[in-house]
Amino acid sequence: MSVFKSSGIGIAGIACAVPKNNVPVESFTSAFGEEAIRNFTSVTGIKSTYKALPEQTASDLAVVAAQELFSRINVAKSEIGAMFLVTQSPDYRRPSSASVVQLRLGLPIDCSCMEINLGCSGFVYGLQTAMAMMSASDYKYGLLLLGETATKLVDPMDKSIVMMYGDAGAAILLERQEDVKTTTLLRSDGSRYKAIILPAGGFRDMAPDHERFICSDGIERSLYDIFMDGTSVFSFSISDIPEAINDYLKITETAVSDYNAFVFHQANQFIIKQLIKKMKLPKDQVPLALDRYGNTGGISIPLTLCDAYGDKCGEKLKSLICGFGIGLSWGVANIEVDTDNLYPIIQTDDYYKEGKLIPGQY
Amino acid sequence: MTNQEKLALIEETLELDEGTLTPETILEDLDKYDSMAKLSLIVMFDDEFGKKVEGAEIKAFETVNDIMALMEK
């Protein structure tokens, strides 16, 4: 089984950032009608999201989150040995946005930097990867960043998704902490790679026609728009996910009562309610942030932690986290974090103006 | 589970009045057979039969009888 253990590495702090531009679902009333909006909110629980400016990228949001983290915690950047950026919305086809972020954060050349291409499972995968790198070295800090601007990939008339995605960034500082033990279970099923997909613009089909066609869910899209097979993804979420969590509890010889927070990827409220029912979880220990932020992909777990516990003092969270989605890819882990180290979510319009290259400039 | 019980369970899942459905009812003819109804069927199969139903199986349903045929433990 794909189970990983690490010890002696803990979370020093988590900061998150969203764009300033708030988009209430009611703003889609003229496009889809009142009833469709009401139905959407009653199933998904989403009432509004934050949408990045056209110039603002995932790495911009991750950088702002990281700067917030550095303003809260005094860290010598020379002591950060590795940085990971989890995103599926890179600034360029190449190089990876991790290079740009390294420059902007002033991380030293003696810091390994790389991008991880994952979506909703990205926090769990990224955390395990960052911990494994730290375990194999002796540097003091590791930095895990996540950024996503999925709103830019949606056809504006796609009522199944356009109100669902929200943009966000997160920054997690890892440090050496005695007595912290983490177990992570990671799974992936490539046979379902088409369940959530955006086909155009990759190297299989770099510049196909923009012709629109009716997809299997009856909604019109082009190959340039993100597609989600909602029924299959739902089936995955309420069967494979509880199964993975149950396997995780068995492997770690723990029970629901050993945790005081269950922080799930904020896919939609209906899915989270099913998980609560099926796993018999205490409802008040399963925080929701999607009503105000939407589905923010891999950022949703750190964002929900900061949203639900960012204003609490001195509480020790023993949380079970679970990320799941595109790939399909999913993971379960435990994290222990002091609520004092979860910072309130900030809003930003910042973007990297020098990042936009003009012909003749390079 | 008798056919009558199966029909009652489908009616309950789709929030329809008792006696609305027959095995021959065509699903697309029902106003209530929307994407939410399909999710509710997935939950019903999971809760009542411990059965994982894939999106493709749900999409293949044409009549109430197609749903009933899968309703076995």
Alpha-carbon gap, residue B58 to A288, rounded angstroms: 29
Note whether A238 contacts B42, CB cutoff 8 Å. yes
Does B6 score more than 70 pLDDT?
Answer: yes
Q: Kindly report, residue by residue over B28-46, the tens digit of the pLDDT.
A: 998 888 888 888 999 999 9
Note whether B39 contacts A231, CB cutoff 8 Å. yes
Gap from B54 CA to chain A (nearest CA, Å): 6
For chain B, the maximum distance between any two Cα atoms, rounded to a whole number of angstroms, is 29
Which of B38, B52, B59 has the CB atom closest to A239's CB atom?
B52
Residue B55's pLDDT is 83
- Whether residue B15 lies within 8 A of chain A, CB to CB, comes out as no
Give the 3-state secondary structure of residue B69.
helix
Q: 3-state DSSP helix/strand/coil percent for chain B, to nearest 5?
A: 60, 5, 40
Note whether A232 contacts B35, CB cutoff 8 Å. no
Enumerate the residues of chain A whose CB falls inside 8 A of the CB of residue B43: 238, 274
Residue A51's pLDDT is 97
Per-residue pLDDT of chain A (362 residues), as tens digits, is 899 999 999 999 999 999 999 999 999 999 999 999 998 998 899 999 999 999 999 999 999 999 999 999 999 999 999 999 999 999 999 999 999 999 999 999 999 999 999 999 999 999 999 999 999 999 999 999 999 999 999 999 998 899 999 999 999 999 999 999 999 999 999 999 999 999 999 999 999 999 999 998 889 999 999 999 998 999 999 999 999 999 999 999 999 999 999 999 999 999 999 999 999 999 999 999 999 999 999 999 999 999 999 999 999 999 999 999 999 999 999 999 999 999 999 999 999 999 999 999 88
Asked if A166 contacts A51 with a C-beta cutoff of 8 angstroms, the reply is: yes
- Which of A300, A10, A74 is closest to A169 using CA atoms? A300
Gap from B43 CA to chain A (nearest CA, Å): 8
Note whether A235 contacts B53, CB cutoff 8 Å. yes
Residue among B13, B35, B53 with most chain A CBs within 10 A, to mutate: B35
Considering only alpha carbons, which residue of chain A is nearest residue B50?
A: A239
Residue A171's pLDDT is 98
Distances (CA, A) of A148 to A55, A63, A117, A321: 14, 12, 11, 19
String of DSSP letters for B4-32: HHHHHHHHHHTT--TT---TT-BGGG-TT
CB neighbourhood size of A319 (10 A) = 21
Note whether B58 contacts A39, CB cutoff 8 Å. no
Note whether B43 contacts A43, CB cutoff 8 Å. no
Enumerate the residues of chain A whose CB falls inside 8 A of the CB of residue B59: 216, 231
Residue A159's pLDDT is 87
- Whether residue B1 lies within 8 A of chain A, CB to CB, comes out as no
Alpha-carbon gap, residue A68 to A64, rounded angstroms: 6
Enumerate the residues of chain A whose CB falls inside 8 A of the CB of residue B58: 231, 235
- In chain A, what are the domains? 3-180 (3.40.47.10), 186-341 (3.40.47.10)
CB-count burial class (<10 Å; 0-12, 13-18, 19+) for A219:
middle
Q: Using alpha carbons only, what angle is made at residue A85 by residues A144 and A89, rounded to the nearest 5 degrees?
A: 140
Which residues have a Cβ under 8 Å from the Cβ of A265 and sit 6 or more positions away?
Answer: A120, A121, A298, A300, A301, A322, A323, A324, A325
CB neighbourhood size of A355 (10 A) = 16
Gap from B36 CA to chain A (nearest CA, Å): 8
Note whether B55 contacts A274, CB cutoff 8 Å. no
Share of chain B above pLDDT 90, in %: 53
Residue B59's pLDDT is 87
- Whether residue B8 lies within 8 A of chain A, CB to CB, comes out as no
Q: Using alpha carbons only, what angle is made at residue A176 by residues A301 and A168, rounded to the nearest 5 degrees?
A: 25
- Whether residue B58 lies within 8 A of chain A, CB to CB, comes out as yes
E strands, chain A, where? 3-19, 22-24, 48-50, 80-86, 112-116, 141-148, 168-188, 196-197, 213-214, 220-221, 227-228, 261-264, 316-325, 329-338, 346-348
Residue B73's pLDDT is 59
Q: Using alpha carbons only, what angle is made at residue A82 by residues A176 and A77, rounded to the nearest 5 degrees?
A: 80
- Whether residue B43 lies within 8 A of chain A, CB to CB, comes out as yes
Asked if A263 contacts A193 with a C-beta cutoff of 8 angstroms, the reply is: no
Beta bridge partners of A19: A348
CB-count burial class (<10 Å; 0-12, 13-18, 19+) for A73:
middle
Phi, psi values for residue A48, rounded to 5°: -160, 165
- In chain B, what are the domains? 3-70 (1.10.1200.10)
Alpha-carbon gap, residue A103 to A105, rounded angstroms: 6
Which of B35, B54, B59 has the CB atom closest to A216's CB atom?
B59
